[in-house]
A = this chain, B = another copy of it.
Amino acid sequence: MKKKVFVVVTARPSYARVRSALLAMRDHADIDLGLVLGSSGLLDRYGDVASAARRDGLVPAACVHNVIEGESLVCMPKTTGLAIVELSTVFENARPDIVVTIADRYETIATAIAASYMNVPLVHLQGGEVTGSIDEKVRHAVTKLADLHLVANHEARMNVIRMGEPADRVVVTGCPSIDIASEVMSGGARPLDRVLNERGVGASIDLGRPFVVVLQHPVTTQYASSRRDVGETLGAIAEVGIPALWFWPNVDAGSDGTSKGIREFRERHPEAAIRFIKNLAPEDFLGLLLRCKALVGNSSVAIRECSFLGVPAVDIGDRQQGRERGANVVNCPPERGAIVDAIRERMGRGHWPGEPIYGTGHAGKRIAEVIAGWAPSIEKRLRFPSAQEVES
């Protein structure tokens, strides 16, 4: 009998990141895949996941609106609490055999709590990595609730085991985000000039000339500074004078601070060569990265996909601090001058050889296989590895 596997996707970038695994599960003979959409994944202004999924032949088993609107931090736990309430009902009615939660966005712990409290075996993708912000707490808390860990690389695996998880339940599959990067790299991305300049607002960008891509998220544990930080980056881009494609941040407390910073800048600098875009199909976005001079911001894309693609990246602030990274990435503080210097330095060096730190491009299939073959267990007890096991 097929295993009923439910995957909960709560944001547009999460969908892109896990897409190859979803498709592999959809096609696996022993898996009956159920896709649940919720949180910012259903908000049009952050990119409509439902349509993207339908284009991939995935009809959502359930959609759950649970984002509490507001620019206060209080909206984050409330969004999470409401997600637990509703996902529990979804699981109660659908009775999945296994539930999968993704990475470390704050609301992903809702999936973990709903499943684990109902004794549904829980798979966690992309645990064991190290960063800053609330993501760091969320990621490891989800690890402690999960029963099977499918991680990106050896270092992540050792981190999970060292936290006391049973070694036989921690499997390196690679990160499925690299699967798309790998396809894009070998396939050749489609031309995008027209598509891009029909979307979003701001300056028209000529992709035939040098440009950068910007992806800057608010850091929720440094709430007040989101607005200032985005201003520093905008100022730096303007100072360097290179045309930029700027992608809107995700819903998060603080994103209104970020949005506000962006809106203000636009009103004061209508002439800046920046185009602001909500989102792009993942393969188009990665194709764009392959052609840009540098990725600027604080997204994990700099560390993850760009290391594989060899795209120069300027990683601002400490949001990604601690994450294993390639030679393509340089870090700088969230200050205009430092950002200017870092962009110029990266632009001067060109692309790098790709590094398979987060996978080789076959994570999706591997994830589907491991889940299909897993004999689920929900009992576990803290067990630390010996010094010998850690070293091996």
Contact = CB atoms under 8 A, between A and B. Distances in A.
Interface of A: 42-45, 62-78, 80-89, 91-93, 106, 109-110, 113-114, 116-119, 130-132, 134, 136-138, 140-145, 159, 162-164, 201, 220-221, 223, 251, 256, 267, 321-322, 378-382, 384, 387, 390
B163 A77 contact: no
A59 to B, nearest CB: 11
| A-B complex: 3 closest residue pairs judged by Cβ atoms | A81-B84, A69-B69, A81-B85
Contact of A65 (B43, B44, B75): B75
Contacts of A378: 221
A256 B44 contact: yes
8 contacts: A67-B68, A69-B251, A77-B118, A78-B85, A116-B137, A136-B381, A141-B142, A201-B267
Nearest to A87: B77
Given A63-B93, A77-B114, 11 more contacts: A42-B70, A65-B92, A73-B117, A73-B119, A80-B81, A81-B88, A130-B381, A136-B382, A141-B142, A162-B162, A321-B381
A12 to B, nearest CB: 14
A207 to B, nearest CB: 21
A342 to B, nearest CB: 22
Copies in the complex: 4
A158 to B, nearest CB: 9
A114 B162 CA distance: 27
A309 B62 CA distance: 46
Contacts of A109: 113
Chain B CB within 10 A, most for which of A64, A119, A256: A119
Contacts of A71: 43-44
Contacts of A130: 381-382
A81 B137 contact: no
Contacts of A65: 68-70, 72, 74-75, 78, 89, 92
B145 A164 contact: no
A223 B119 CA distance: 9
A92 B116 contact: no
Nearest to A109: B113
A14 to B, nearest CB: 17
Given A117-B220, A267-B201, A384 B162 contact: yes
